[in-house]
Amino acid sequence: MKSKYFSTVEIIFLSSMIGLDFAFGLIVKPILTASGIGEFIRIDLIVPTMMLLITRLVIDKFGTLIIYEFVWSILAVIAMPASFGLPGFLKIIPAVIYGFILDSFMELFKNHLYIRIFVACIIGGIINQFALMGVKLLYGMPWSEVVQLLLGINIATSLIVNIIAVHLTLLVWKGLEGSGWVRRIAGWRTS
């Protein structure tokens, strides 16, 4: 029987994945921004999205991605002030909403890995774009034609990035699923 609480090993793994995700962003985003690629499509989000999904597959408990996004957003407040397009602590709200959306969709189709990952990442990603826009509108961003156009572009690029992330996640998970360390993390008991 799975415990609803996180074991020490799960917390360490979750923390490690958040740290790895954050470090990846600190290294890759400036490089992509300098090259101009980041202005066209957010390819810097493919690997972090894959790490997010792998974390949820290894620690298959509701709340994993909420914690992941919450901790990541606190780190982003300190080190990446422009993330989510919101200043300071305001970026915590859309990050936690995204974690909740992904966690909720990851609870569906538990016996069908591809459908589960696809629905969580693709549908969750689209809903997240609307949620993020809703938060920005609540903070006073005008609902202009430019903003509506940007929402459409964000949804389109999010779809491309998330489809690639789904396939990358499935490739990585195929190699990790039966590994000893994944079984040990899943089998660890909460004391």
CA distances from 70 to 18, 74, 75 (A): 10, 6, 9
Provide the residue ranges of all domains of the chain, joining segments of one domain with +.
Answer: 8-187
Higher per-residue confidence, 8 vs 80: 8
User: Residue 110, SS3?
Assistant: coil
Task: Report the topology of domain 8-187.
Answer: Arp2/3 complex 21 kDa subunit ARPC3 (1.10.1760)
| Interval 27-51 mean pLDDT | 81
| Interval 21-34 mean pLDDT | 85
Distance CA 69, CA 186 (A): 21
Question: What percent of the chain is predicted at pLDDT more than 70?
Answer: 90
pLDDT of residue 43: 80
Distance CA 127, CA 125 (A): 5
Question: What percent of the chain is predicted at pLDDT more than 90?
Answer: 45
Per-residue pLDDT at 87 exceeds 90: no
What are the tens digits of pLDDT across the range 132-143?
A: 888 878 877 777
Main-chain dihedrals φ then ψ at residue 81, nearest 5 degrees:
-60, -20
**Residue 72: alpha-carbon gap to chain centroid:** 9
> 């660890």: which residue's tokens?
188
What are the tens digits of pLDDT across the range 5-24?
A: 888 889 999 999 999 999 99
Give Cβ neighbours of residue 70 (< 8 Å, ≥ 6 apart): 92, 95, 96, 99
What are the tens digits of pLDDT across the range 110-125?
A: 999 999 999 999 999 9
